[in-house]
């Protein structure tokens, strides 16, 4: 009877299978490690949510989206409980019950508010006057901002803001909100226009305006020429927990819920406590 022959697996194939298994294990480890780190990083937020937020979903977001938003909001506020917290509004929030706007989840005091006043060369926020007056009565530290339209005349935009905003002692400096790139001019021309707006507004109010922009936009287009202006930076990155040293304000979410305000609201952290914030106000 002939001896039975056995075929061995090629060595190269055995090595390939071993490498594939090793790669899969590595990816699994990295994934599990990332999840663990994420849970640890936002442990206070998860615990807070599990304890207090199980039945408070917003209709604007899905349940899971609302959960993640609330976890991050609590985590950031918890890490900055020694700093002043505020929000910003415009006509898009409709009518506001200002007497309800004292806290976030009854835990974090709201100390200031930025209110949109104007946009472009001729737009006035439909609710600016009532919001401006009501926030003062509510005893919030208030500030007004202008939404800059890159393709419109910068001097006319500055005049629009000046005509509609009467700043008083105790108000925050005026804010220039720049978020869009121009479609009819170069970046250099945009910068000239921004500088003209800032100079005209500073001359009128006798205080240096604040620049508001997204972090990437500011870094890519504005930082080199406008680093001498106070910054209000928007960055909603889920993994960012702290503001930079040169940020005066950090807008860290657009998904907050505040009693008395319909829909979602932007939240901001000031780089200091309320007493320090008062020192930044007009005197």
So which residues are the catalytic ones? 88, 179
* Residues making up the chain, counted from first to last: 283
8 Å CB contact between 98 and 134: yes
Phi, then psi, of 108 in degrees rounded to 5: -120, 120
8 Å CB contact between 135 and 142: yes
SS3 238: coil
8 Å CB contact between 105 and 74: yes
8 Å CB contact between 207 and 230: no
Nearest-angstrom CA–CA distance, 75 and 105: 13
Exposure string for 132-162, b = 16+ CB within 10 A, e = fewer: bebbeebebbbbbbbbbbbebebeebbbbbb
Nearest-angstrom CA–CA distance, 175 and 223: 16
Phi, then psi, of 222 in degrees rounded to 5: -120, -25
């Amino acid at each position: 009877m002939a001896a039975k022959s056995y075929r061995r697996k090629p060595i190269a194939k055995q090595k390939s299978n071993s490498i594939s298994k090793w790669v899969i294990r590595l990816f699994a480890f990295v994934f599990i490690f990332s999840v663990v780190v994420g849970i640890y990083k936002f442990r206070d937020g998860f615990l807070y949510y599990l304890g207090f937020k199980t039945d408070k979903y917003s209709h604007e977001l899905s349940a899971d989206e609302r959960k993640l938003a609330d976890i991050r909001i609590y985590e950031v506020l918890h890490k900055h409980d020694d700093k002043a917290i505020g929000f910003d509004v415009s006509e898009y929030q409709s009518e506001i019950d200002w007497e309800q706007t004292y806290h976030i989840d009854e835990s974090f005091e709201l100390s200031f508010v930025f209110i949109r006043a104007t946009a472009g060369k001729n737009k006035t926020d439909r609710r600016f006057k009532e919001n401006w007056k009501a926030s003062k009565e509510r005893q919030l530290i208030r500030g007004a901002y202008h939404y800059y339209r890159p393709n419109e005349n910068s001097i006319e935009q500055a005049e629009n803001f000046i005509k509609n905003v009467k700043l008083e002692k105790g108000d925050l400096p005026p804010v220039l909100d720049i978020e869009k790139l121009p479609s009819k001019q170069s970046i250099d021309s945009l910068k000239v226009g921004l500088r003209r707006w800032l100079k005209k507004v500073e001359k009128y109010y006798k205080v240096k305006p604040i620049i508001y922009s997204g972090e990437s936009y500011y870094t890519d287009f504005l930082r080199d020429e406008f680093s001498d202006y106070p910054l209000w930076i928007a960055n909603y990155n889920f993994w960012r927990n702290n503001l930079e040293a040169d940020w005066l304000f950090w807008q860290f979410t657009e998904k907050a819920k505040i009693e008395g305000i319909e829909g979602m609201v932007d939240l901001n952290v000031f780089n200091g406590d309320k007493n320090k914030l008062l020192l930044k106000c007009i005197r």
